[in-house]
Amino acid sequence: MFRFLLIFFLLYGGIHGYAFWKIKSAFSPGPTLSILMIVIMAIMILAPAGVRIAEQNGLEATARTLSLVGYTWMGGLFLFLSASLLLDFSRLILFLAEWIWNKEIFASLMPSPRQALLIPLTLALGIYVYGWFEARNIRVQALTIKTEKLLPEAGPLRLVQISDVHVGLMIGSDFVSRMLRVVRDAKPDLLVSTGDLVDGQINSLEKVLPLLQDIRPRLGKYAITGNHEFYAGISEAQKFARKAGFVLLRGEGVTVAGLINIAGIDDPAGRAIGQHRPVVEAELLKNLPEQHFTILLKHQPIVNRNALGLFDLQLSGHTHKGQIFPFSLITRFYFPLHTGFFRLSDSSCLHVSRGTGTWGPPIRFFAPPEVTVIDLVPAGVLPRESLGGSRVHFSSGKD
């Protein structure tokens, strides 16, 4: 954890240093303004740590204010950095073109230091406004999976997946109500949460609990831990999930109503604090009735090759599809199975949710939030009515 924090503050501090240099080059502020900017930037650098400290000491109002200001700043700064680096790259191209061809026209196209600040700043502000609305425009991602592992008389089963909701300081009852309207409209037979239902320290979430408790699919609600359940405190996170009506699966599998198997494993983040429940995926899955359709809930989109063929559908999240482009280029490097639907073998597939809420900056850009609606359809049975949105079809087994 210390190493992660050190790297984070060095990188985040470096980005602030870059922004400070851009401002100095554009406006040449005097000593007083320069010191004021340094103080403000120092506060913003330390804001994420300040949020956690305030939460841990029960200073909810302070934590909420610092979270709103600090993460809004973080999102805007990242967008500014991305746009500014792109402009700097174009300036480098113009400089090289002038040096190679010795044409003054290239120099005339070079933006001034003030333009080099204001252009990316304006672009960042525009994208931020758009991203704020995008983060609240929850999309339905629909999957249809035909399978011979469901009896025709069972009819199609509708499973709804939410992931990475991050209920906490930034995500409250308003957003949860909006999300649950989408869930309710889908009329699910079963609801699953694939980790990070909560964000950090769990404070004053009483307003959210009744909303989650009011969703009662006929086959129940199941959840697994994500990394943030451990950051929040696994004991409190478990209590919250159970009060909300979820069965929390930690290295466990169940057969629901004699129809389908659901298995869930802990996120690896629990290892650092000794709270992870280790389990061999293949052994866990082998102990479930093989004649039933098997769903594996796993927060991070990492596939255990030894478990292929032992599950029909793995549901994951965690990546948020990067949440803010171009950060997605980095998350895709770490998680090649980044977002969407993947056929892993003849009998196993994976769906990686873009996530439903937001972490940190309350925006999304080129990564809209999603609620996943999955129809499991027995062979020879017609699927339920379409909910619109994007739809993927897949046949499991011989069908």
Q: What pLDDT digit, counting tens, does each position of 111-131 carry?
A: 889 999 999 999 999 999 999
- Which pLDDT score is estimated for 308? 96
Domain 139-396 class in CATH: alpha beta
pTM for the whole thing? Answer: 0.92
Single out the residue of 194, 265, 193, 201 nearest to residue 233, CA to CA.
201
CA distance 170 to 176: 11
Distance of CA 318 to the CA centre of its chain: 5
pLDDT < 70: residue spans in the chain: 1-2, 201-204, 386-399
- Which pLDDT score is estimated for 61? 85
Q: Residues 389, 138: contact at Cβ < 8 Å?
A: no
Q: Residues 271, 227: contact at Cβ < 8 Å?
A: no
Task: Calculate helix-pair angle for 60-101, 31-56, nearest 10 degrees.
Answer: 130
CA distance 272 to 270: 6
| Tokens 């113009």 found at | 94
- Which pLDDT score is estimated for 381? 77
Residue type, 53: I
- Which pLDDT score is estimated for 204? 63
Query: Which regions of the chain carry the CATH code 3.60.21.10?
Result: 139-396
CA distance 186 to 157: 12
Q: Residues 191, 183: contact at Cβ < 8 Å?
A: yes
